[in-house]
Chains A and B, each alone.
Chain A
Amino acid sequence: MRFITTAALIAAFSCATAVSQLAQRTGAVPKSQSTEFLDKASKKIDRLVGADFRRKQIRPIGKANDAEFLRRAYLNSVGRIPSYDEAVEFLNNEDPKKRDTLINSLLGSYGYNMHMFNWWADLLRATDTFEDTSGAPYIKWIKDSIAENKSYKTMVHELISATGGGWQNGAVGYYVRDKGMLKDNMANTTRIFLGTRIECAQCHNHPFDSWKQMDFYQMAAFTNGIKTAKSYLSDYLEDKEDMDGVSRELRDVSRLIRYAVYDFSIQDTGTGTIKLPKDYKYRDGDPGERIGAKSLSQFGKTVKVSTRSKSTDPGKSRTRFADWLVSPDNPRFTKVIANRIWKRVMGTGLFEPLDNFSSASEPSNSALMSYLEELLIDLDYDLLAFQKVLYKTYSFQLSPNTIQHPERSPYHFNGRQLKRLSAEQIWDSLLTLKINDPDKRLGNGYTGDAIMYRGRPVLVGKKSMKDLYKEVMSLESGTEVWDYTKGLHDQIKSDKGIKGGGGENMGMMMAYNAGKKYGNDMRASELRSPMPNGHFLRQFGQSNREVIENSSTDSDVTQILSILNGHVERHLISNGNSKIFQTIKAAKSDEQKIERAFISILSRFPSADEKKIFLEEYELNGSAATNNMVSALISTGEFMFVQ
């Protein structure tokens, strides 16, 4: 048996080597901005994958064709199929560098930001509401961080050390959303960022890992005692006997102040100590004993908080915890995110599950794992640059593997595994068939820091949530806050509309109006997070965002009914105005109609046999043929899976 050498594998990869001369001369350009550095990194990855093939005597699969690459690149990076025009442009382009060019245009686009939001929202469990409190500042913070390509390390540090008012710093949402369940929050932090499950150790020593209940409590101490701001208003209103005379409007304004200001802020940042449970049964501590925080051993240089440090600097223990978490000394931090992004781009992780890496775990390709960690540090945790490197590898461009690989056994990346689209990818792809420019409709999270009262922005250009927060927090008694509430109510009532239409206000009003104008005809990331139960997105497995990465790609029969008789039929097939029918209508012949339908839905040209099948359909059914064809193509496995 002959095996293709690594060199041949690399040679097969047509790479763009636009060398950044400037970077070479001056050395001033960070590596994440150096095309040369990124290209070299892509090739290095291919060499490591190729070496693995040789070691395991795997015969490399061929390179994906243009159509396979196109659909995969779009769905993976921007979360939807390409539109007809986008697909035609790429398929007809004869430039040998067109794959690189496409990756450059997709990564960092609006569509990319939207798709990244779905990923972050699943990871961080970002919901529109946390009980009574609006999650809007948290959603906005995530979206802003993605749009400015904030480094992963910075993002995580900001989340973990977050303190203050939500409208000043949306990252506090990370704790506000878990108010009253900070132990679970810590278990989640460890799981998301360190790939380690310690939640079992909350009640007892871990049965099959080395974690002890003491480890859990020492970690939980870092965030113990975090509290939202003291609300003068609630105390005042509880004392106030008679609310009967108070109008509904005024009550709504008071709710705004209670929930959006007081409840969405972290004021007491914790002491870094905690009491052991009353039924603590191990020798290393006494029931009810107060202990100081201590970071998990095995993960870099240990950070400790003394039980007596209480008086010094309250917020400090959590900042030190955040420093420790993202420190280069903590190897697990880098390993977990490198593997997570690798899986996101390549379809399968180097180790799985992503968040349960134990002492016994071994990545399927250790050399590659180490290099990815090194690379991510070199790129200063720039996830966009890191993904660019991965998308430009030859490994990303391999043909789909026709054999289903058993889940959770080591995979050596010889061809991509087929995967059902996520709920968001299905929704966004159907939207691409329905409207023009789906990536341009901005909704949820873009209404900025306007005061939202009864579902609409008020006092625009006059007072923002940031102002409101500052003003309310400067008040020191229930009576003062109640007077302020009444004053705000008067202001809102006498508000005559927008003052100063430019800048952020303009963008905010546009986003608000878009929501009204487009209804749910927006990408999943711009709708409510998550959508209510029973909605198409939830039916197809959108996460409820109460638990980390809780989305599902399981298919069931109700989804099929929705495709055959429900949502797809109502919104797309029987809707003559939808984009796909406009595209098909412009065709000059039946053959061209078929071609347009295939390119729109499956991002490829039809084969001769397929043309024949559908030409017969046109002969047989005439006017109904187009609808039948579109419906049939969406009902295929080929549409529902990415290759």
Chain B
Amino acid sequence: MPDSTIFNKGDEVSRRQFMIGAARNCLGVSVLPMLGSTLATNETFAAAPPMRRGAAKSVIFLNMAGGMSHLDTFDPKPDNDEVQGPTPVIDTSADNVRISGFLPKTASVMKHVTLLRGMQTNQGAHEQGQYLLHRSYPMRGTIVHPALGAWVMRLSGRRNTTIPGFVSIGGSAENATGGFMGAKFGGVPLGSANDGLKDSKRAHSVSESDFNRRLQLADKMNSTFHGKFKQKQIKTYHGLYDEAIKLMTSEDLKAFDLNHEDIKVRDMYGQNGFGQGCLLARRLVEHHVRFVEVSLGGWDTHNDNFVSVESRCQILDSALAGLISDLERRGLLDSTLVALGTEFGRTPDINENTGRDHFPRAFSGLMAGGGVKGGFVYGETDRKAHTVKEGIVTPGMFNATIGHALGLPTERVVTSPSGRPFTIGDEAKPVKEIFA
């Protein structure tokens, strides 16, 4: 629609007046300013390319920040006391797959999981390691690479256009960056699951009618301004108010509100930040959010590794097992890929503080749902969990595999504004062997 018709005053004003009334009556909330411009704001996300059939529709990425010990979680070496330490080892619901005894609930859902025991990275410091894990590229002083979620948004678009398509819960807000792709592909960072979406509700200091009055007044001012400056950037900016109102009035906003969950379910995931984050992730995925990251920190166990890892595992165990079984029960596991990653593993050798130090050469991750094989192990380390014998998976491969699960073109080159070429996994190939 050309601008001149949008701003054909007589008609537009009366139509808007009508809609104000309609919005009030029907939604009980507020006006929709600049109705004519709604189309413009969504065009970025309108053209989602066709997906591979049977591909996953959403991703829940669990980020174990600090460097998760592989020996004490998913790659134990029960026959080697020298490196294993006091961590117990247990059987799981998958044949011949044994994991740490700190994860009994996870053991019961292992039949849905592919373990990646050949993870490897070339970064041994936290910030650099987390960067590589999220972006497939090493940190540089010359460019900001987009986070994986931004890649997913760029290559596939939003499924639900009224709420954000990429949400990152807990952890560093850097994990949600759009990098050189820009803020429009970046995620919305949530400090904690219980906060909900920041500022998405009317402030207590403003009555509903005043809120509506403000929007109407601004709308009148904006019509004049856009009348003078018939520019895309102005239209887009005004259009964002539409989007904000659409969000505030969206039925899907309740996806962000954990109060709708039964207390039993909340308990099952664990009454802690990470557990509730995983529960929120499930709610968001149910409302067609494309990419959700949930972070669990505290894995940097240089001291008292076994005590610290056990307490981390208590949190992880309820949340991970809760998430996988809940997704399965709701029929969402096939369409949702759960991926768990960390920046590096920890030394098989136990240090003098009963701790383990950073270890980039070999560690573990996992994937479940989204077409991934269940009860499967990909990759193997030697008897000390020291070297990857086969099935190496680098952060780039890990990310390419997530892209592949979603049916995205992992070889698609996206060019930065400075003209440099990038791909979702830094040219790494997806690990196709893990798909059923």
Q: Which residues of A contact B (CB under 8 A)?
A: 125, 178, 181, 184-185, 187-188, 191, 197, 199-200, 208, 353, 356, 400, 402-404, 418, 420, 533-534, 538, 541, 544, 546-548, 550, 552, 554-562, 564-567, 569-570, 573-574, 609-610, 613-614, 617, 620-621, 624, 627-629, 631-633, 635-638, 640-641
- B263: interface (CB < 8 Å): no
Complex contacts, B197 vs chain A, CB 8 Å:
561
Q: How many residues of B contact A (CB 8 A)?
A: 59
**Residues 217 to 258 of chain B near chain A (Cβ within 8 Å):** 217-218, 220-222, 224-226, 228-234, 236-238, 240-241, 243-244, 247-248
State whether A541 touches B183 (Cβ < 8 A).
yes
State whether B225 touches A636 (Cβ < 8 A).
yes
- B202: interface (CB < 8 Å): yes
State whether B237 touches A565 (Cβ < 8 A).
no
State whether B419 touches A208 (Cβ < 8 A).
yes
State whether A187 touches B141 (Cβ < 8 A).
yes
Complex contacts, A632 vs chain B, CB 8 Å:
213-215, 217-218, 221
CA distance A291 to B228 in the complex (A): 60
* Closest-CB distance, A198 to chain B (whole angstroms): 10
Given A628-B213, A635-B218, A640-B237, 8 further pairs, Cβ under 8 A: A402-B228, A403-B231, A544-B144, A557-B164, A557-B240, A561-B198, A637-B237, A641-B237
CA distance A628 to B214 in the complex (A): 5
Q: Which residue of B lies closest to A558 (CB)?
A: B188
Pick out which of these stretches binds chain A: B4-12, B108-116, B203-211, B406-414.
Answer: B203-211
- B142: interface (CB < 8 Å): yes
CA distance A617 to B220 in the complex (A): 12
State whether A629 touches B217 (Cβ < 8 A).
yes
In the complex with contacts A555-B240, A561-B244, A636-B222, A631-B233 CB distance below 8 A: no
Complex contacts, A550 vs chain B, CB 8 Å:
144
State whether B221 touches A621 (Cβ < 8 A).
no
Complex contacts, B244 vs chain A, CB 8 Å:
557, 560-561, 564
State whether B203 touches A565 (Cβ < 8 A).
yes
Complex contacts, B213 vs chain A, CB 8 Å:
617, 620-621, 624, 628, 632
Would you list 13 pairs from A and B whose C-beta atoms are within 8 A, ordered by A residue? A184-B140, A418-B234, A534-B173, A546-B141, A547-B142, A560-B240, A561-B197, A566-B199, A569-B205, A609-B224, A617-B217, A636-B221, A640-B237
Convert B156-167 into 0s and 1s, putting 1 for each residue whose CB lies closer than 8 angstroms to a CB of A.
Answer: 000000001000
* Closest-CB distance, B21 to chain A (whole angstroms): 16
CA distance A188 to B140 in the complex (A): 11
State whether A614 touches B217 (Cβ < 8 A).
yes
State whether B144 touches A564 (Cβ < 8 A).
no
Convert B173-191 into 0s and 1s, putting 1 for each residue whose CB lies closer than 8 angstroms to a CB of A.
Answer: 1100000001110101101
State whether A627 touches B140 (Cβ < 8 A).
no
- B201: interface (CB < 8 Å): yes
CA distance A181 to B191 in the complex (A): 32
**Residues 105 to 158 of chain B near chain A (Cβ within 8 Å):** 140-144
* Closest-CB distance, A25 to chain B (whole angstroms): 50
Partner of A565, one of B142, B144, B200, B222: B200
* Closest-CB distance, A483 to chain B (whole angstroms): 27
Instruction: Rank and list the top 3 A-B pairs by shortest CB-CB distance, nearest first.
Output: A533-B173, A566-B199, A632-B217
Complex contacts, A552 vs chain B, CB 8 Å:
182-183
Complex contacts, B164 vs chain A, CB 8 Å:
557
**Residues 391 to 426 of chain B near chain A (Cβ within 8 Å):** 417-420
* Closest-CB distance, A336 to chain B (whole angstroms): 16
CA distance A404 to B233 in the complex (A): 8
* Closest-CB distance, A322 to chain B (whole angstroms): 20
State whether A533 touches B189 (Cβ < 8 A).
yes
CA distance A620 to B209 in the complex (A): 11
Complex contacts, A620 vs chain B, CB 8 Å:
213
Complex contacts, A574 vs chain B, CB 8 Å:
203, 205-206
State whether A560 touches B243 (Cβ < 8 A).
yes
- B172: interface (CB < 8 Å): yes
CA distance A562 to B240 in the complex (A): 12
State whether B217 touches A554 (Cβ < 8 A).
no
State whether B238 touches A637 (Cβ < 8 A).
yes
State whether B420 touches A554 (Cβ < 8 A).
no
State whether A562 touches B191 (Cβ < 8 A).
no
Q: Which residue of B lies closest to A624 (CB)?
A: B210
* Closest-CB distance, A414 to chain B (whole angstroms): 15
CA distance A221 to B144 in the complex (A): 25
* Closest-CB distance, B88 to chain A (whole angstroms): 30
* Closest-CB distance, B28 to chain A (whole angstroms): 17
In the complex with contacts A560-B244, A569-B206, A628-B217 CB distance below 8 A: yes
* Closest-CB distance, A278 to chain B (whole angstroms): 15
* Closest-CB distance, B244 to chain A (whole angstroms): 4
Partner of A191, one of B142, B189, B201, B222: B142
CA distance A187 to B229 in the complex (A): 40
In the complex with contacts A556-B184, A617-B213, A418-B231 CB distance below 8 A: yes
* Closest-CB distance, B294 to chain A (whole angstroms): 17
Partner of B226, one of A208, A547, A627, A637: A637
CA distance A455 to B183 in the complex (A): 34
**Residues 318 to 342 of chain B near chain A (Cβ within 8 Å):** none
State whether B174 touches A533 (Cβ < 8 A).
yes
Q: Which residue of B182, B198, B417 has the most chain A CB atoms within 10 A of its CB atom?
A: B198
CA distance A468 to B217 in the complex (A): 60
